Amino acid sequence: MVSDLSNVFDVGSISKTTNGGTMWIFQCKRAQLMYGVDFIDSLKGYAVGTNRAFGTGYIYKTKNSGINWEVNPYYNEGPFWCIAFLDSLIGWIGGTRKILRTTDGGETWEMQIDGLESDLKQMIILKKDKVAYVLGDDWNGKTHTFLRADLSDLTDVKENVNNISTEYLLFNNYPNPFNPTTTIHYAVKEKGLVSLAVYDILGREVAELVNESKDEGSYTVNFNAGSLPSGVYIYSFRVNDFTAIKKMTLVK
């Protein structure tokens, strides 16, 4: 649970329960003003908030059930109000005017929507139905913004070898254009040595994403181009006698 109150004056807090909410224990009682929290699993979780000036967004991250929290400020980005994950890697943050998105489990965040005249304060993801809803308070004090997103085309970036393929396939990366992360999906119909690499427009290899034997099945892999300049890149997929090449665009 997160709050914009604490037993310490003028700060927010993060609390934890281990008995279904009967009792709550402060884990961080000198946090920023906290408004949203979501856990990917029993260990890894995120909380979001803002400072008293409402000028900086904050992302709190834990990898040990909240025993320790890593704090990352986003200066001049305004308040962060809510956070929710679809699966272990794909999630969103609702803020003032904006929605941020991660495809690598919260390691990096990119702007997906900006410029709304609203504080996006509530986010609900129906994981089974793969639908997201976001509700915001408009600045005119009279109306609200309601957003709905169909997430059925998005999948967890973890490998899923139970999804058997009847052919070799290389899909378009998503999102495209991207900054700085994107997801590449491919399928293998027979066990073989899979090579998936990224090249710049001059044909120089800039990243080796996969170079190992894979059983038949459907796979996805995340590509982080944070250290690369903007431009067009080519990704090449090879397995057994099959080869496929596609383009993607990095825009920073």
Check residue 159 and give its pLDDT.
Answer: 40
pLDDT (mean) for 50-73: 93
Give me the number of domains the chain comprises: 2
- 85-106 average pLDDT score: 92
**What's the confidence (pLDDT) of residue 78?**
86
Identify the domain containing residue 224 by its residue range.
Answer: 169-250
> pLDDT tens across 187-222, in order?
888 899 999 999 999 999 999 999 999 988 878 888
CATH of the domain at 241: 2.60.40.3080
Give the per-residue pLDDT at 154: 65
Rounded to an integer, what is the distance from CA 96 to the centroid of its chain?
18
pLDDT score, position 165: 54
User: Measuring CA to CA, which residue among 88, 63, 146, 116 is closest to residue 100?
Assistant: 116
The answer to whether residue 121 sits within a structural domain is: yes
**109 and 8 share one domain:** yes
Higher per-residue pLDDT: 159 or 246: 246
Domain end, chosen from 115, 150, 185, is at 150
- Alpha-carbon distance values, 106 to 26, 53, 61, 118, 252 (Å): 24, 25, 8, 24, 19
Same domain, 38 and 143: yes
| Residues 112 and 18 placed together within one structural domain of the fold | yes
Determine contact, residues 29/45, Cβ cutoff 8 Å: no
State residue 88's pLDDT score: 87
Specify whether 15 is located in the same domain as 48.
yes
Output the CA–CA distances (angstroms, integers) from residue 148 to 40, 41, 95, 135, 176, in the order listed.
Answer: 22, 25, 16, 9, 21
Whether residue 199 sits in one domain with residue 104: no
